Structure 1
Amino acid sequence: MGAGKMHADEAELDVSLVRRLIGAQFPQWAELPLEPVASSGTDNAMYRLGADMAVRLPRVPGAAGQVAKEQHWLPRLAPLLPLPVPEPLGKGTPGAGYAWNWSVYSWLAGENVERIADPRRVAVDLAGFVTALHTIGTGGGPPPGEHNFFRGVPLAARDAATREAIAALAGAIDTDAVTSVWEAALRAPAHGGADVWIHGDLSSGNLLFRPDGLSAVIDFGGLAVGDPACDLLVAWEIFSAAHREGFRDAMSADAAAWERGRGWALSVALIQLPYYRDTNPRLAARSRHVIGEVLADHRAGT
């Protein structure tokens, strides 16, 4: 794996290449300022184009299929959601040595934050967004698959990969406690209702904030029609125990869904940590935090 890369099959991307792509395919924007956007994201690279646009390019083959999905579905979902989401402005195609389709989006104001100023309000606002997404008609929506890294499948489908990650982290985490939490999630009743639209990757890196609170939700690469419990995983990343309960109440999540959501949070964090601990310190730290919050829940019996 090359220096600065997170994946063995990651594309070579830099400002020069992105500028060549824009110049060839969107000449009306060729003279606008272009700069990379610092992010802990792993599947796509982001560049700010001018004052009000963003260029988003898949880094890896597994993310390449997300472009067409987002271009098709985001304009249809956006009017039905209570917070802004990226608006596709252009669809780029392979060129200049780059192999995949890519997107130009509207730039959404806001910042990622390490600490939420008003978690009670954010719990309500985020629950409102997720609930709205989960109630949009799903006709024609894609089921979970390679395009969204199988977010929203039954948890049992992640069992082998999760246990492999637990084994890889022996000595670094409490493997007995983690295994107990994971097995409890596997025992939770499966989702019995209709599958719903899920964001699939609700995390702090995909939430934007302004001084007055949550301002936008971005990165819909995990979009699919699947188990709504997948979108509860955010609760163990951005909320303390007290405000996590507020999010649960606002979501009206029953015991089975909450248990599956905790399983999703744990599984994602466990799999990310050994993969990214040397190449993406921010994401590795986030994963350790989630594992710690899940284990704290386990010890508290909640």
Structure 2
Amino acid sequence: MDRRAGTPTIDAELARRRVDTQFPRWADLRLRLLDPAGSDHVIYRLGEELTVRLPRHTGAITQVRKEAEWLPRLAPHLPLAVPEPVAVGEPDFGYPWSWAVSRWLPGEVATVEGLSESHEAAGALAGFLAALHRFDAEPAEDLLTAGGRLSAVIDFGELGVGDPARDLVIACTLMSAGTRATFRAALDVDDPTWTRGRGRALETGLNAYVAHAAVNPRVAAQTTRQITQALAG
């Protein structure tokens, strides 16, 4: 446990022990760290078909069981792939939170360089959100691509009922002015909702920059772009 931060120290030994003791049927599968991963979870690939996700902090600990409950219900009704939960691990051996095993989704993490000018991707994401909103739920903005096209949405940490403007943050993290227009038109977003989305993008970008940019150049570049695009509209 990192007592200064109040969070557990997560390493390969801890992850291996979690798998081997709670799911011994996977004890022979190779465990490989995925880096970079998100700010909420440490992620390991388990064999060729699975991933292990361990929450990093208390703000992420409700995601495991929420995703296990809701993603199987949502998946048949969505036009893009989403993670398939396989098992939920329990706290033990000093690790205090539930953790998840899911199916591996092939693809590459979406990048500004790859998708910012893709009107096809903007339309596909708008279609995904339109389908998801019929369930009154919202995703976060981590995405996968395959063959230059949007293929999956993988981060549902903020899944829940709320203001649909929160879904618009992705327009400032990944898109350009032109593809934002395509995205907005496809979703038929009104001015107040769009403005709230820009405000959310500005808020989260500033918070992430302050928290991480000094030690992570990748986050610095991403959040600087997010802030700039949110201000630009």
The two structures share one fold, judged by TM-score above 0.5: yes
Q: Specify the code of the residue in structure 1 equivalent to 2:179.
A: H
* Counterpart check, 1:116 vs 2:114: yes
Cα distance in structure 2, aligned partners of 1:100 and 1:290: 31
Q: 1:90 aligns with which of 87, 92, 96?
A: 87
Cα distance in structure 1, aligned partners of 2:220 and 2:148: 29
TM-score relative to the length of structure 1: 0.73
> Percent identity among equivalent residues?
45
Contact between 2:144 and 2:150, CA under 8 Å: does it hold in 1? yes
Q: Specify the code of the residue in structure 1 equivalent to 2:228.
A: G
By how many angstroms is 1:283 displaced?
2.1
Contact between 2:31 and 2:46, CA under 8 Å: does it hold in 1? yes
1:91-136 deviation digits (Å, cap 9, x = unpaired): 1001232111100000001111331256110000000111110012
Count of equivalent residues:
230
Q: Specify the code of the residue in structure 2 equivalent to 1:125.
A: A
1:39-78 deviation digits (Å, cap 9, x = unpaired): 2411111000000100011011121121111111111111
User: Which residue does the alignment assign to 1:65?
Assistant: 62
1:245-284 deviation digits (Å, cap 9, x = unpaired): 0110111111111111111111110111111112333223
User: Which residue does the alignment assign to 2:137?
Assistant: 197
User: Which residue does the alignment assign to 2:212?
Assistant: 276
User: Which residue does the alignment assign to 2:143?
Assistant: 207
Q: Specify the code of the residue in structure 2 equivalent to 1:21.
A: R
User: Which residue does the alignment assign to 1:45?
Assistant: 42
Paired residue secondary structure (1:96): coil
By how many angstroms is 1:17 displaced?
1.0
User: Which residue does the alignment assign to 2:198?
Assistant: 262
By how many angstroms is 1:79 displaced?
1.0
Q: 1:225 aligns with which of 161, 165, 170?
A: 161
Cα distance in structure 2, aligned partners of 1:81 and 1:55: 24
Cα distance in structure 2, aligned partners of 1:86 and 1:113: 16
Contact between 1:84 and 1:215, CA under 8 Å: does it hold in 2? yes
Cα distance in structure 1, aligned partners of 2:39 and 2:215: 10
Cα distance in structure 1, aligned partners of 2:224 and 2:8: 27
Cα distance in structure 2, aligned partners of 1:268 and 1:93: 31
1:203-238 deviation digits (Å, cap 9, x = unpaired): xxx100011400110121111110001001110111
User: Which residue does the alignment assign to 1:154?
Assistant: none
Q: 2:103 aligns with which of 90, 106, 116?
A: 106
Larger relative contact order (CA 8 Å, sep ≥ 6): 1
Contact between 1:91 and 1:104, CA under 8 Å: does it hold in 2? yes
Displacement over 6 Å in runs of 4+: none
Structure 2: which 5+ residue stretches go unaligned? none
Structure 1: which 5+ residue stretches go unaligned? 137-195, 298-302
Aligned-pair Cα RMSD in Å: 1.7
Show the 5 A alignment for 1:155-174.
none
* Counterpart check, 1:55 vs 2:52: yes
113-122 or 126-135, which moves further after superposition?
Answer: 113-122
TM-score relative to the length of structure 2: 0.94
Cα distance in structure 1, aligned partners of 2:215 and 2:37: 10
